Amino acid sequence: MTKLSRIYLDPNKERAVIELFWDAITLLEDRDEIKAFLKELLTPTEIRMLSKRFSIAKMLADGYDYQTITSFLKVTPGTIASVNSKLSYGDGGFDPVLERMLEIEKQKQERLEGKRDLLKPPAGGIDPFEVLQFVGKQLKKRAKRRSVKR
């Protein structure tokens, strides 16, 4: 677990330092900048810890139970309860991010469904299965010709 210095800052200075941190985060413009910033700011352990906490929030929002989350993420029920408490009784900090992620997932699913529709044969058009059968027959003919030439 990450440890804080035993030397406390004056509350006004601490508030200013934290505000500086929030301002720095809001200045980041894209995923690459955010990733580079956080990789330099945080240790690999802190990145894993924060990633797991967010994944817990996402899985809870998606309806997964504690046992599934525990076995998938290798976290304790206490950690899950802590995140669940923030989701239920916190200031709603997870909500906008989770809502946006849900919207992105819906859009991805819709695009996937659209691609699946492309695989269906058009009405009155060529059936892809028939094309595959035709290609298979042509390949067999070529294989027979090669075997005769040798």
Residues 47-97: tens digit of each pLDDT: 999 999 999 999 999 999 999 999 999 999 999 999 999 999 999 999 999
Q: Where are the domains of the chain?
A: 9-41
Contact 98, 57 (CB under 8 A): yes
Residues 26-51: tens digit of each pLDDT: 999 999 999 999 999 999 999 999 99
How would residue 7 be classed by pLDDT, with cut points 50, 70 and 90?
Answer: confident
Query: What pLDDT shows up at residue 94?
Result: 93
Residues 108-128: tens digit of each pLDDT: 888 877 666 555 555 555 555
pTM of the full structure: 0.67
The Cα 117–Cα 129 span in angstroms is 15
The Cα 94–Cα 57 span in angstroms is 8
